[in-house]
């Protein structure tokens, strides 16, 4: 049963439950970008992202990748395992877009021969600076073994997602993963949705993700609905 709010982030609110090992993650319609400087709301965004995330977590579990996902408790609320979050944002990149094209002389659209795994320290206060294994170990965030395991998992998830989304008509330039520990095991946490991935339409190259909001490229609710129609067609039946 849902109990008091544990914490509210930019797009999700986390609630305690009767069971200390389980939390409820509620996907909200609020949106932020550029470290919270740009804010908005989009109708049904929480619903579409929750359903997309659910489907991707279930698919990853089937492929043998452990995640924090347990089950949906409503259209926008997911029961998840309480994890000890590892403060690293892991970004697998297949095609150059976004910050990598601003920080390095790499042109947008450059296809990487090998996936590029970027790790950032998850800290709004510090502006999510780049992280590496030595810094992570020095800060006590993770061990060398854990970082190696996270990298392996990120590469595997990237392959699985790239193929899965390719079949649904998307290119996957990049996406963000978060990991946590539960009973000493590393699991995928947070969400995998239109807010945390770049989805480009395979045919037109059009953005079908949060870049719509970041760069005022169109109607976000309609676009997320289009993504949901391809990934979770069953919710429209």
* 98: Cα within 13 Å, side-chain hemisphere: 24
CB of 196 to ligand C5P, least distance (A): 3
User: H-helix or E-strand containing 227?
Assistant: helix 220-231
Q: Answer yes or no whether residue 91 interacts with ligand C5P by CB under 6 A.
A: yes
Do 222 and 204 form a contact (C-beta atoms < 8 A)? no
Stretch that binds ligand C5P, among 23-31, 37-45, 55-63, 193-201 (CB under 6 A): 193-201
Q: Answer yes or no whether residue 89 interacts with ligand C5P by CB under 6 A.
A: yes
Do 34 and 98 form a contact (C-beta atoms < 8 A)? no
Instruction: Figure out which of the listed residues 42, 174, 188, 208 binds ligand C5P, where binding follows CB under 6 A.
Output: 174
Select from 151, 142, 146 the least CA-distant residue to 118.
151
Stretch that binds ligand C5P, among 40-48, 80-88, 172-180, 200-208 (CB under 6 A): 172-180
Stretch that binds ligand C5P, among 24-32, 108-116, 136-144, 190-198 (CB under 6 A): 190-198
User: H-helix or E-strand containing 90?
Assistant: strand 88-95
Angle 87-32-73 from CA coordinates, rounded to 5°: 70
Q: Is the dihedral of CA 127, 130, 131, 134 positive or negative?
A: negative
Q: Between 102 and 234, name the residue whose CB sits nearer to ligand C5P.
A: 102
Q: Is the dihedral of CA 231, 128, 89, 87 positive or negative?
A: negative
Q: Answer yes or no whether residue 25 interacts with ligand C5P by CB under 6 A.
A: no
Q: Between 23 and 92, name the residue whose CB sits nearer to ligand C5P.
A: 92
Stretch that binds ligand C5P, among 8-16, 134-142, 158-166, 192-200 (CB under 6 A): 192-200
Q: Answer yes or no whether residue 197 interacts with ligand C5P by CB under 6 A.
A: yes
Q: Answer yes or no whether residue 210 interacts with ligand C5P by CB under 6 A.
A: yes
Do 157 and 92 form a contact (C-beta atoms < 8 A)? yes
Binding-site ranges for ligand C5P (CB under 6 A): 89, 91, 98-99, 128, 174-176, 196-198, 210
């Amino acid at each position: 049963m849902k109990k008091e709010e544990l914490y509210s982030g930019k797009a999700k609110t986390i609630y305690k439950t009767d069971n200390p090992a389980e939390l409820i993650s509620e996907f909200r319609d609020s949106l932020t970008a550029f470290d919270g400087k740009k804010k908005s709301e989009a109708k049904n965004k929480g619903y579409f992202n929750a359903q997309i995330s659910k489907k991707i977590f279930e698919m990853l579990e089937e492929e043998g990748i452990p995640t924090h996902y347990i089950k949906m408790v409503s259209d926008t609320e997911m029961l998840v395992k309480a994890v000890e979050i590892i403060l690293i944002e892991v970004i697998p990149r297949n095609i150059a877009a976004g910050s990598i094209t601003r920080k390095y002389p790499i042109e947008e659209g450059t296809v990487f021969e090998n996936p590029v795994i970027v790790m950032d320290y998850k800290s709004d206060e510090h502006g999510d600076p780049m992280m590496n294994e030595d810094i992570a170990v020095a800060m006590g965030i993770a061990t060398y073994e854990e970082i190696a395991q996270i990298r392996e998992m990120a590469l595997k998830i990237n392959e699985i997602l790239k193929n899965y989304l390719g079949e649904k008509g998307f290119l996957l330039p990049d996406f963000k993963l978060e990991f946590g520990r539960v009973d000493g095991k590393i699991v995928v946490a947070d969400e995998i949705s239109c807010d945390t991935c770049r989805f480009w339409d395979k045919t037109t190259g059009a953005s079908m993700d949060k870049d719509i909001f970041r760069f005022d490229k169109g109607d976000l609710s309609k676009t997320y609905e289009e993504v949901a129609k391809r990934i979770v067609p069953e919710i429209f039946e």
